[in-house]
Amino acid sequence: MLYRENGQFKTSYAADQQIFPILQDRWAIALLLVVAFVVMPMVGSEYFFRAILIPFLILSLAALGLNILVGYCGQISLGTGAFMAVGAYAAYNFMVRIDGMPLIAAMLLGGLCATIIGVLFGIPSLRIKGLYLAVATLAAQFFTDWAFLRINWFTNYSTSGSVSVGNLSVFGIPIDSPVSKYLFCLVVVCVFALLAKNLVRSAIGRQWMAIRDMDVAAAVIGIRPVYAKLTAFAVSSFIVGVAGVLWAFVYLGAWEPAAFSIDRSFQLLFMVIIGGLGSISGAFLGAAFMVLLPIVLDQLPHWLGIPMSTATIAHLVHIIFGALIVFFLIVEPHGLAKLWSVGKQKLRLWPFPH
Amino acid sequence: MERKFGEVILDLQNISLRFGGVKALTDISFNVREHEIRAIIGPNGAGKSSMLNVINGVYHPQEGQILFRGQQRQKMEPHMAATQGIARTFQNIALFKGMSVLDNIMTGRNLMMNSNILQMALYWGAAQREEIAHREKVEEIIDFLEIQSVRKTPVGQLPYGLQKRVELGRALAAEPTMLLLDEPMAGMNVEEKQDMCRFILDVNDQFGTTIVLIEHDMGVVMDISDRVVVLDYGKKIGDGVPEEVRNNEDVISAYLGTSH
């Protein structure tokens, strides 16, 4: 009954075109931001930031980037891990080789390098589609795995093959404590989520979706497939590259190429599919599902006071997690975001069926 | 009723199109004048849709010349046809299923939207003004086609007749000089056909748009078109005003068969 838009009349197109046209949604999102920015830093424990919130935020950002490519433009990619790696190693090299390189600048430059590599590996998309393209993007994955392992210049001739960064700071504020790392990630994620949302509701976003839904019709109304597909690759790999920088610098601190293996690409693709293709909130829901649910399942017997050995729990987590993936995909193949919007639609009419 | 036709806007000369050994179109010539409604008719497989695909650059004929507004073109991509002012609808609806009615029609105006990707990312200033200005135009089209109530509905959920209407809207959004309609009334009931005829005549009348139309409903074709070209097995067998075509021996035999 509370979730009603009755009486909320729009008198301008600007008001009708805002991201959250319904008043209650604006309140909800404001509340969420207050919780994330103010309440969390006050109540969260170190473990909570380090093991749950930070990886959740960074993987959300990577999933957001991938969703632009897969969900909005319809180009399947299995090279996400590679583009994250390019971002991370490029930013590392900028930090190591240029004195006094600010973190934000290194992060954006890392993103730009990922963009270049992303566009390069996006070129096959002009000729091949669907699953064949997915296989072609695997090339990016194998190439970067090889390059960062074998070309020592990228790792600054580190003997172990592992590289690390320390003493991160932004505008003189050190990013060392879990809370500061969390807030830094949160700001970056919020900014990129807003930019991505703006893109997908603009002309370029409609071009991407047009190419995804019906490429012949898109070409006939004047959309150049080359431009639409390559911009999707560019924007997507930029965001994914930035997420790679955060993952390496903020979450891991020290890393080797295995941190961005094909497993990471698959994990992100699953997040996007389970969260909801072609939806910004889907990236967050998918990341939450993949990151939070195993942890919750892991802790559940403990919270409920059921005595169980850790090994049994670990097995059960795998079984239940797998079953839940299947369950959600059967209930709603379009992902959690779709489930969420259907729920909202029902709530607007509740208690009436129509 | 006296109507004014302009110059020849599209001139097709000796067009032949083959797919391997299959001859889809053989030596076809006809022209379209400004502001007229030109129908292409013919039995199934006559090459009507291929003809439209040649006009807007999806297919490239092996032989023949196409002059559009006096300019010759040999090989062109579909988006170039769009920039020259040719819009079209498809026989099997080719809407963007995942998008709302509004977004589908907005996509039709993408050629007129010039803000760069950074402006769009910020959704500020020029990009937002542009979005609002084009929204106003799109709302005019939505009013014209009487689909206000479904503007935010995903097109996949709409009934067939409305989807056809949205597709016409998307083509109109580009403000084309020439509109290619591939069976705009296929599968419609009488009321829907009447609505569609009204829209086509209004577009022709109000915006002066030249219309090339493929249609199977002979009543509709004879009623609304100014000149008709008849294809059969990829060859042209008739061309002229509706009365002429109706009395053409070849056309009658193509449609009704001949006695042997």
Å between B108 CA and nearest CA of chain A: 6
Q: Is A230 on the interface with B (CB under 8 A)?
A: no
Q: Collect all residues with Cβ–Cβ distance below 8 Å to A326 and sequence separation of at least 6.
A: none
ipTM of the complex: 0.88
In order of A6, A101, B142, B185, the CA distances from B149 in angstroms are 16, 55, 9, 22
CB B78 to CB A204 under 8 A?
Answer: no
- Give the chain B residue whose CA is nearest to the CA of A196: B121
CB B131 to CB A204 under 8 A?
Answer: no
Q: Are B23 and B210 in contact (CB under 8 A)?
A: no
Q: Taking CB atoms and an 8 Å cutoff, what residues of chain A touch B111?
A: 221-222
Q: Collect all residues with Cβ–Cβ distance below 8 Å to B242 and sequence separation of at least 6.
A: B221, B222, B225, B227, B228
CB A216 to CB B79 under 8 A?
Answer: no
Tell me how many domains chain A contains: 1
Domain annotation covers residue A13:
no
- The secondary structure of residue B99, as a DSSP letter, is S
Domain holding A248, by residue range, is 46-349
Give me the tens of pLDDT residue by residue for chain B, a chain 260 residues long. 446 678 889 999 999 999 988 899 999 999 999 999 999 999 888 899 999 999 988 899 999 989 988 888 767 888 888 989 999 999 888 999 989 999 999 999 988 888 888 888 888 888 889 999 999 999 999 999 999 999 999 999 999 989 999 999 999 999 999 999 999 998 888 999 999 999 999 999 998 999 999 998 888 999 999 999 999 999 999 999 999 988 888 888 888 777 66
For A51, the token pair is 């093991």
Q: Is B126 on the interface with A (CB under 8 A)?
A: no
- The secondary structure of residue A153, as a DSSP letter, is G
Q: Are B93 and B163 in contact (CB under 8 A)?
A: yes
Give CA–CA dist A4/A23, Å, rounded.
9
- Give the chain B residue whose CA is nearest to the CA of A17: B132
CB B58 to CB A216 under 8 A?
Answer: yes
Q: Is A235 on the interface with B (CB under 8 A)?
A: yes
CATH of the domain at A156: 1.10.3470
3 state SS for A69-135: HHHHCCCCCCCHHHHHHHHHHHHHHHHHHCCCCCHHHHHHHHHHHHHHHHHHHHHHHHCCCHHHHHH
Q: Is A199 on the interface with B (CB under 8 A)?
A: yes
Domain annotation covers residue A8:
no
Which among A202, A212, A222 has CB closest to B131? Answer: A202
Give the pLDDT score at A249. 94
- Give the chain A residue whose CA is nearest to the CA of B128: A14
Å between B132 CA and nearest CA of chain A: 6
Å between A206 CA and nearest CA of chain B: 6
Pick from A112, A221, A229 the residue to mutate for testing the B interface (most B CBs within 10 Å).
Answer: A221
Q: Taking CB atoms and an 8 Å cutoff, what residues of chain A touch B95?
A: 213-214, 217
Q: Taking CB atoms and an 8 Å cutoff, what residues of chain A touch B85?
A: none
Which residues lie across from A211 on neighbouring strands? none
Q: Taking CB atoms and an 8 Å cutoff, what residues of chain A touch B118?
A: none
Q: Is B204 on the interface with A (CB under 8 A)?
A: no
Task: Indicate the residue type of B209.
Answer: T
Q: Is A11 on the interface with B (CB under 8 A)?
A: no
- Helix, strand or coil, per DSSP, at residue A254: strand
- Range(s) of chain B covered by CATH 3.40.50.300: 1-85+176-260
Domain annotation covers residue A297:
yes
CB A214 to CB B56 under 8 A?
Answer: no
Question: What class does CATH assign to B1-85+176-260?
Answer: alpha beta
- Give the chain A residue whose CA is nearest to the CA of B175: A221
Q: For chains A and B, count residue pairs whose Cβ atoms are closer than 8 Å.
A: 109
The residues of chain A scoring below 50 in pLDDT are none
Which among A13, A206, A216 has CB closest to B135? Answer: A13
Other Cβ atoms less than 10 A from the Cβ of B54: the count is 22
Q: Are A141 and A79 in contact (CB under 8 A)?
A: yes
Give the pLDDT score at A352. 78
